[in-house]
Amino acid sequence: MPRSINTPIYLKPLSVSLLQESIQVYECCSAKGAINQIESRIVNTGLHDVPQLSFLPPENTMFLLDLDHNKIERLHSNSIKVSAQQVTLNFNEITTIENYAFNGSQIGLLHITANPKLTQLEEFAFKGLLNLRELDLSFSSIKTLSYLGLESLEVLKIRNTPTLHTIPSLYDLPSLKLAKLTHHFHCCAFQYPKQHSPIKHAAYEESMRQVCIKSQMSFQTTGFKKRKRAVEYANTYRPQKFPNDHLTEQALGYLVPQFGVTQQAQKPLIGHFIDHQKPRDPEDAYEDMGTFHSSPTLINDTSIEVFCGNISFKLQSVQCTPDPNALNPCEDIMGFIWLRNSVWFVVILAVVGNVAVVVVIWFSNTEVNVSRFLICNLALADLCMGLYLMLIASMDYHSVGTYFNFAYDWQYGIGCQIAGFLTVFAGHLSIFTLTIVTIERWFAIKYAIDLTKRIRLPTAVRIMIGGWIYSILMAMFPLFGISNYSSTSICLPMEVKSTFDKIYLYSIFMINGFSLVLIVFCYAQIYFSLGYETRRTSHKGELTIAKKMALLIFIDFATYAPVAFFGLCALLGYPLINITKSKILLVFFYPLNACANPYLYALMTLQYRRDIYGIVSKCGFCKTKTQQCAIREDFPIGKPCPLLPKDENNSHQCCNNNCDQTETNGSGPSAPNNTYV
């Protein structure tokens, strides 16, 4: 049967008490008559509540109260009232610390570690606790820490507590010298107290200004009440003369009572000669007697440096760990002002461009083919990248200057998880779709005569289903602990702690690198398949194709190659740039592909303009223009060729102009109608 010891035990005077390995004890006794108690240990028991310690005499100061390895579930109000150098409640099952749990106690070191179920720390939990110098709440699940009762705290330890949301301001912990916390951004609060708590910083500055004003007014006697006794003495003051113009013990015995100071208090001066100054006028002596203040003034021990009316406020420096590192510096999300402004330009281009592509493809009357299907998938992927940038830019705008105040809510909240998922998903789906688009174009041009060697629409659908599944899986790995999206403010999986993290990141770089090489190879094959005359011609349409392919390859390299290079260097242990500079690549250059693709693959093509005219004509606009485009698509209309040209060159150029309406405005000499790219 479980035992409950409730009967008070009267103990003889002793210095150490020990109760351990009594796993059946649920409630422990109260100790009466225990005086001169130096150590008290109740460990490894089934104790559910703190034993009654109110019977300890108030003059008894303990060295240690050890309640480790029990099953204490709750610290009730006024449950601990002791005077001890150290109190430990480690390895219990504490879930809640109620208000005034330590009311009336004087504790130097309070350790409540390894209580993972501790989630509720009430606002006045430490209220009434005096002279606490060190507090350890590591390995718990608290979200906030109230500063009430922690005014004298010098050491704060809350390690391995990922749930910790906010910490008190430096102005609420005026004695703090050392802090060992869990998150890097919490240390930024101690480095930048003004940004951490602007209201309290303003109040602190105002209080210091008031102290400065009062200190300046203390040198002036105007407006203060003067002591009545000083006035009376000034009226009865008479100069006294002493031999040799020096004050002796006899003279001192005469003068001291006049000022209300006993001779006993002046013993150190007896026997020592003091230079005597001749008395001045009664008014001067009256001023020397000081001033009377109508209300008492509290002395502020905060140091103030004043120079020419400018006040410099000095706060104590706090040694805090973990220090802000390369992944989590004390800066805004964007880091640079120009980057903060430029990213909105990329956001607008990416979102507007890709939405325009998707809307036109979905609502046009044109039959869906492989090219249109792939371009629609590419636009959806790039639209997700634009939405990621919008989330990042919006959060940066909301938290500019004070990001570390929002770091926990952002990095460990649903917002950063969504943003990270979007960017990884969009990046993989985009480069996957670009690869399929390039291969489809390569088949169409390389095997222009053999129509059997083409990617059909059902095949393209199956391929893209596989691409979507692959992209979703790659984006979900960080959600299940393989790297994570919470390691940085830009929500990218950049943390490497385990072998699985390295394998995941290496696979990303290898797959995307292989895709990029394949894209370059296919475009090179397409370019050289045009023939020497076509590549060297000055014809406008053919020259546009060559330039377009060169631009596509250049943009792919400009966006993926720098990220891959610096990322691999960092994975190998040789980071060449810090996180601040890497944001330029990851937030600006890497998403450039998302805003360039819709313009290069869709918006600048002739077929896209035809689709727009078709959609607009449904609303009763531009019907004539739509009919002209339809006629031009079936029967190319150009400049008529003269029957008898003056020379061969002019006739050849005219015929080429006729063909230029359908062929060269598409994707190449053999590009079929009704296609993008």
CA nearest to 118, candidates 87, 86, 89: 89
CA 53 to chain centre: 44
Give the per-residue pLDDT at 423. 93
Tell whether the torsion through CA atoms of 216, 222, 228 and 231 is positive or negative. Answer: positive
Whether residue 633 is contained in a domain is answered as no
Peptide bond into 58 cis (omega under 30): no
E strand segments, 236-288 = none
Whether residue 110 is contained in a domain is answered as no
Query: Which burial class, exposed, middle or buried, applies to 153 when counting CB atoms under 10 A from its CB (0-12, 13-18, 19+)?
Result: buried
Tell whether the torsion through CA atoms of 559, 562, 564 and 567 is positive or negative. Answer: negative
pLDDT digits (tens, 9 = 90+) for 525-534: 887 776 655 5
Whether residue 370 is contained in a domain is answered as yes
In the chain, the percentage of residues whose pLDDT exceeds 70 is 67
Residue at token pair 């449950």: 79
pTM above 0.85, yes or no: no
Whether residue 666 is contained in a domain is answered as no
Work out the end-to-end distance of the chain between its first and last CA atoms, rounded to an integer number of angstroms: 82
In angstroms, the CA 386 to CA 283 distance is 81
DSSP state of 246: B
Residue 75 CB neighbours (<10 A): 24
Structure tokens at 555: 């943009």
Q: Which residue type, as a one-letter code, is found at position 264?
A: Q
In angstroms, the CA 666 to CA 357 distance is 16
Structure tokens at 35: 């005086």
DSSP secondary structure string for all residues of 85-147: EEEE--SS---EE-TTTTTT-EEEEEE--S-TT--EE-TTTTTT-BS--EEE--S---S----
Give the per-residue pLDDT at 367. 81
In angstroms, the CA 151 to CA 176 distance is 8
Give the per-residue pLDDT at 295. 52
Q: Which residue type, as a one-letter code, is found at position 11?
A: L
pLDDT digits (tens, 9 = 90+) for 139-155: 999 999 988 999 999 99
What are the distances in angstroms from CA 496 to CA 211, 482, 571, 572?
A: 51, 9, 8, 11
Give the per-residue pLDDT at 389. 92
Whether residue 648 is contained in a domain is answered as no
CATH code (residue 445): 1.20.1070.10
**Residue 509: which domain range?**
351-604
CA nearest to 599, candidates 349, 374, 371: 349
- Stretches in the chain below the pLDDT threshold 70: 1-37, 54-59, 215-315, 326, 530-546, 619-677
Whether residue 18 is contained in a domain is answered as no
CA dihedral 294, 295, 300, 303 (to 10 degrees): -20
Q: Which residue type, as a one-letter code, is found at position 559?
A: T
- Count how many domains the chain has: 1
Structure tokens at 464: 């893209």
In angstroms, the CA 481 to CA 354 distance is 32
Give the per-residue pLDDT at 195. 81
Whether residue 179 is contained in a domain is answered as no
Q: Which run of H or of E encompasses 632?
A: helix 623-634
Whether residue 288 is contained in a domain is answered as no
430 touches 597 (CB < 8 A):
yes
The CA-based angle 403-405-409, given to 5 degrees, is: 95
